[in-house]
Amino acid sequence: MNPIVGFTKKTLCSCNRDDFWSRDKNKAGMIAQISTSLTKMGCNVVVPQGNADVEIVKETAERSRESTTTFIGEDADFLIYFRSYVKTAIGT
């Protein structure tokens, strides 16, 4: 059975990376820790419940209406989602 890791700011994990990420509780703990840290630094953090790529694109597009927004991603799917979302949002 792969370990469940408890999280604090100083948590060090010596387990295998694949073993660590195979547990949903570990993923959730890591996401919560990063989200909390970014929020405290003044960043807007959204943790999507559905298709993460689509939710990231929608939230980025919505935020860009209020302030300068930077989106950084490696996945080509993001470009397709952006194009589709923007076309839908502006009605073309």
For the stretch 15-56, pLDDT in tens is: 788 888 888 888 888 888 888 888 999 888 878 777 788 888
Residue 9: alpha-carbon gap to chain centroid: 19
Task: Answer with the residue of higher pLDDT: 87 or 62.
Answer: 62
Domain range for 83 = 52-90
Q: Which pLDDT belongs to residue 15?
A: 77
Q: Are residues 30 and 58 in the same domain?
A: no
The structure's pTM equals 0.57
Q: Which pLDDT belongs to residue 91?
A: 57
Q: Are residues 11 and 34 in the same domain?
A: yes
Q: Are residues 57 and 38 in the same domain?
A: no
Report DSSP state, residue 5: -
Q: Which pLDDT belongs to residue 52?
A: 80
Cα(62)–Cα(71) distance, integer angstroms: 12
Is residue 26 within 8 A of residue 20, CB to CB? The reply is: yes
Q: Which amino acid is at 64?
A: S
Q: Are residues 69 and 36 in the same domain?
A: no
Q: Are residues 59 and 39 in the same domain?
A: no
Q: Please compute the mean of the pLDDT values over residues 68-90 and round it to a whole number.
A: 76
SS3 content of the chain, % helix, strand, coil (to 5): 55, 0, 45
Q: Are residues 36 and 2 in the same domain?
A: yes
Q: How many domains does the chain have?
A: 2
